[in-house]
Amino acid sequence: MDFIDYLGISAIVLAYKEVVNHKGRMKLTNLPAHLKNLFSVSGLDKVIDIYPTEEHALRSFKEDLILEKIKKLPLRRRFKRLPIEIKIKIMPKYTRDQSYLDAEILNLSGVGAYIYGCDKFRIGDEMILKLKLSAQSEEIEVQARVVWLPDKQIQNQLYPGMGIEFYNISPEIQHKIVEFVEKNISLMPTE
């Protein structure tokens, strides 16, 4: 695709709405840089997932299925959350500035975390997190997207912060996180 105008974008939006209305998922692959920029400017990159290759997109469908199965489980069977304070570094995923922001994870699970101390992101924004689960462990890097922001007026004790979900996470890294959470939850005093 070398060129797209308003009608082309409208057709993509209509196709996306049709797919979503029928409980489907739509992902785009191999977009040239100028179209990625157009999707970014129009905000469509926040709605429609864009992947560099077909392989990445297909893998993300598999991840979606895993998350859907997890979401259908009763709450007591989903990933456990560990209240913890872990210093992290955050970098917006699509930025020219390659510097990291400092923040802190206040709770962690196998599928996401609550990050305190950062108000630079909006819902749907994607980022790269660097963190160490313990002082002895190696630094891990995960991709995440913002799924929740606290209301400053109502939840001022959580502000500034954000709830994030991990995506494109390798099974090995997710296993490390789940193992870390479960081990540390078992060490917590019971009330």
In the chain, the DSSP E strands lie at 27-29, 49-51, 82-92, 101-108, 112-116, 126-131, 140-148, 161-167
Q: What percent of the chain has pLDDT over 90?
A: 24
Position 160, amino acid: P
Q: What is the model's pTM?
A: 0.57
Instruction: Output the pLDDT for position 25.
Output: 87
- The residues near 52 (Cβ < 8 Å, ≥ 6 apart) are 29, 30
- The residues near 94 (Cβ < 8 Å, ≥ 6 apart) are 40, 45, 126
- pLDDT tens digit sequence for 37-48: 888 888 888 888
- pLDDT tens digit sequence for 19-37: 988 888 889 998 888 888 8
- pLDDT tens digit sequence for 120-132: 888 889 999 999 9
115 pLDDT band, cuts 50/70/90, is: very high
Residue 65 vs residue 152, higher pLDDT: 65
Residue recorded with tokens 């196998």: 110
Position 165, amino acid: E
Q: Which two tokens stand for residue 126?
A: 């994607």
Residue recorded with tokens 């390659």: 98
| Residues 9, 13, 14, 19, CA torsion sign | positive
Asked if the model's pLDDT at residue 65 lies above 80, the reply is no
Long-range contacts, stretch 138-144, CB < 8 angstroms, 24+ apart: 140/173, 140/176, 140/177, 142/166, 142/169, 142/173, 143/93, 143/167, 143/168, 143/169, 144/112, 144/113
Domains and CATH numbers, the chain: 6-72 (3.30.750.24), 79-187 (2.40.10.220)
Output the average pLDDT for the chain: 84
- Which three-class secondary structure state does DSSP give residue 15? helix
Asked if the model's pLDDT at residue 75 lies above 60, the reply is no
Q: Which two tokens stand for residue 11?
A: 């057709």
Residue 158 vs residue 85, higher pLDDT: 85
